[in-house]
Structure 1
């Protein structure tokens, strides 16, 4: 597998991991106020500041989990790229690991979005 492809995949997963963990910490400390750039942005969570706070508080464990999924996928991908280098199965297994890592992050984030939306709608049920 080309080194550039491995670096790109690892870099993307690493950036995702850092952003998700930083966002989870900001939510935990109460420092993530309603904004237009970062956060779980659903119709329910953006309705008001209280909906934003409640939705993100509910989403915080999942955000941290998504960050860990990205970090573990990056490490596993690198290990497989090194171990599989020059072997017939190496490229396919490495690409599968990176793909599964990205798919895992997306799956966790979709769940986080549902959890945050439900929590925010509990504050204002019509949203």
Structure 2
């Protein structure tokens, strides 16, 4: 059962890694235009094209490393599940704890990236 738990939790972390990597990739290529569908959308970043670009450039260093942490957390959960083959609450708890910490780290980094983007974008709104 820990393997199912790890696969389920890991899948979400991989999705977060892919989406964050796509955002980073689009910023680096200059193909991320201001829109309502994809990107860091705050009042400040949506205020102008310059604010959008400045905000995303400021957040990009974090957006580059978030996928690494997300994939590492997913792999760690899977490795723990393989080594803790025994069914039971203890094995599931360890796997859930490791993936939960991975999610917490990714969300915290995303919030910091959004804050950096918002601060940088505010320079163009005042």
Q: Residue deviations 1:35-82, cap 9 Å, x none?
A: 111101101000011100010011111112221111110111100111
C-alpha deviation, 1:4, in angstroms? 3.3
Instruction: Give ranges in structure 1 of 5+ residues lacking alignment.
Output: none
C-alpha deviation, 1:6, in angstroms? 2.3
**Which residue in the other structure is 1:84 paired with?**
84
Q: TM-score by structure 2 length?
A: 0.92
**Which residue in the other structure is 1:54 paired with?**
54
Q: Residue deviations 1:11-41, cap 9 Å, x none?
A: 1111111111111011011111011111011
**Which residue in the other structure is 1:95 paired with?**
96
Instruction: Describe the SS at the equivalent of 2:123.
Output: helix
Instruction: Give ranges in structure 2 of 5+ residues lacking alignment.
Output: none
C-alpha distance in structure 2 between counterparts of 1:114 and 1:66, whole Å: 15
C-alpha deviation, 1:2, in angstroms? 4.7
Q: Superposition pairs for residues 1-127 of structure 1, below 5 Å?
A: 1-86=1-86, 89-125=90-126
Contact 1:65/1:108, CA 8 A, preserved across alignment: no
Higher normalized contact order (CA 8 Å, seq sep 6+, divided by chain length): 2
C-alpha deviation, 1:124, in angstroms? 2.0
C-alpha distance in structure 2 between counterparts of 1:24 and 1:56, whole Å: 9
Aligned residues: 125
Q: TM-score by structure 1 length?
A: 0.91
Contact 2:5/2:92, CA 8 A, preserved across alignment: no
Contact 2:40/2:56, CA 8 A, preserved across alignment: yes
- Segments of 4+ moved more than 4 angstroms: none
Contact 1:83/1:90, CA 8 A, preserved across alignment: no
Instruction: Describe the SS at the equivalent of 1:34.
Output: coil
